[in-house]
A and B are shown apart, each in its own frame.
Chain A
């Protein structure tokens, strides 16, 4: 309880500080372009860019151990279940980079003026970046007006990328959608706009522009992951039986019974149907959608999570890893099992897909999807595969097919009110949601199995 009070007190103090700093007194435009705004910010916030440029929000990579070996990985060079890879598609993907002008491998990561302060600090809601100009703001943005109104980030800032990345609202995470801009209590008890109104940095406690958090794929080492114990006690329940559960069951498992509240999330992306003028059968335009440029996508709301043991670390697919195209290739998956005493049963979204792969070399293709010579323009798989592989430097046989893939996503947000948390029978009833056999039990453990 003391920790919670401390959190709230700090939040209030930070809020007061934010409101107290009226930047309109210091900022004077007009600005020729967005880098001029950054230069103005750095006149007072001298170390801000230096600090920020050390973080993965800028580098999109981090040295860490994954799959037992030391690698430097991140969004920059991994292959995911959505648009595939950043490589050769930078002009589009950098809509979500907190920088200006990363259009190819020649981007200067040491240029402080390329740091985009506004995307995180805009309080007007009028600052927008586009998916067609390497992270520069849209032309209509009034840079002076936005710069004069900067403040501490709110959920809307973070959501601009973390909710919209991957091809639409809530496409990726499942538990981070635009509904978290201003949620009510039933959506999330912590972020309830009329209640606690926690901003993201309440839990993702930020220091020197470093924002902690561990996405399963980009942080498979689990470095700086957020834990409920940051505010709550390890034994928070009045009932000892529930506290005993907390030793092997993550808080999220009981307290996030459903994800994708209000806004549907993408559950499947089948690229293999892309490029055809006629949509395949079974398209209803709502749950199952088709576009020639992207293939078939399935979107669903109010999803019951999948459950798996999770010790905080993950396995990931690295570009060039061999696959068996007859079985689904996991691109990110939780580590841990019933015998791992550091693991807990944790909720996940499992996104499935079909992706282009090299049928002779048996690995996934780093596809070129954005640009005048790319798939979204040409609908030519052979050409886009060739260009994409040339850019990433991976040998390409020239033969391609489509293989099934999966990707796990942690479910950590959309925490329900306590009265809506899972009850005993939700897991231990006749139709309980746990697949005990898949978790390594012989039967329901309540029966001593």
Chain B
């Protein structure tokens, strides 16, 4: 095996480790589903002003990155009222039901 192969394997392992470390955990996904329907779908339903969003709209890491970054610039008023704990639960639901998750879901 040459050095290029070692480098490639190393990069893959690093990327995998980084992705795993970033993954959301500790949120209540079942409560998050309720909160997503109740709070988010008011704007993010079909035809809504925020554009339709379902868990399958993004991948697991995309959802995690969104909630990890500063979300104060979200234009929706409802979003600003959601507590950090509730956001974590919503993030967990969206992550667990994302397009590349073991159980992708269109509900919400």
Binding site for B on A (CB under 8 A): 124-126, 140, 142, 145, 156, 178, 181-182, 193-194
Contact = CB atoms under 8 A, between A and B. Distances in A.
B105 to A, nearest CB: 12
A36 to B, nearest CB: 20
A125 B31 contact: yes
Contacts of A125: 27-31, 89
Nearest to A181: B30
A225 B28 CA distance: 32
A181 B27 contact: no
Interface of B: 25-31, 33-34, 38, 89
25 contacts: A124-B26, A124-B28, A125-B27, A125-B28, A125-B29, A125-B30, A125-B89, A126-B25, A126-B26, A126-B27, A126-B28, A140-B25, A142-B26, A156-B28, A156-B30, A156-B31, A181-B30, A181-B31, A181-B33, A181-B34, A182-B30, A182-B33, A182-B34, A182-B38, A193-B34
A182 B34 CA distance: 6
A86 B61 CA distance: 40
A140 B20 CA distance: 13
B31 A182 contact: yes
Contacts, number: 30
A338 to B, nearest CB: 43
Given A124-B26, A125-B30, A181-B33, 7 more contacts: A145-B26, A178-B30, A181-B30, A181-B34, A182-B30, A182-B33, A182-B34
Contacts of A145: 26
Contacts of B28: 124-126, 156
Contacts of B89: 125
Contacts of A194: 38
B85 to A, nearest CB: 10
B78 to A, nearest CB: 15
A142 B28 CA distance: 13
A435 to B, nearest CB: 35
Nearest to B89: A125
A221 to B, nearest CB: 34
B87 to A, nearest CB: 14
Contacts of A156: 28, 30-31
A187 to B, nearest CB: 11
Contacts of A140: 25
A126 B27 CA distance: 7
A124 B27 CA distance: 7
A126 B26 CA distance: 6
Closest 10 CB pairs of A and B: A125-B28, A182-B34, A181-B30, A156-B30, A125-B31, A125-B30, A126-B26, A124-B28, A181-B34, A126-B28
A145 B28 CA distance: 13
Nearest to B85: A124
Nearest to A156: B30
Contacts of B29: 125
A181 B34 CA distance: 8
A402 B27 CA distance: 45
Contacts of B31: 125, 156, 181-182
Nearest to B26: A126
Contacts of B27: 125-126
A237 B31 CA distance: 36
A124 B38 CA distance: 19
Q: Most A CB atoms within 10 A — which of B25, B27, B28?
A: B28
A440 to B, nearest CB: 43
A181 B36 CA distance: 14
Nearest to A146: B26
Contacts of B25: 126, 140
A182 B29 CA distance: 12
Nearest to B30: A181
Nearest to B31: A125
A140 B28 CA distance: 14
Nearest to A262: B107
B54 to A, nearest CB: 16
Nearest to B32: A125
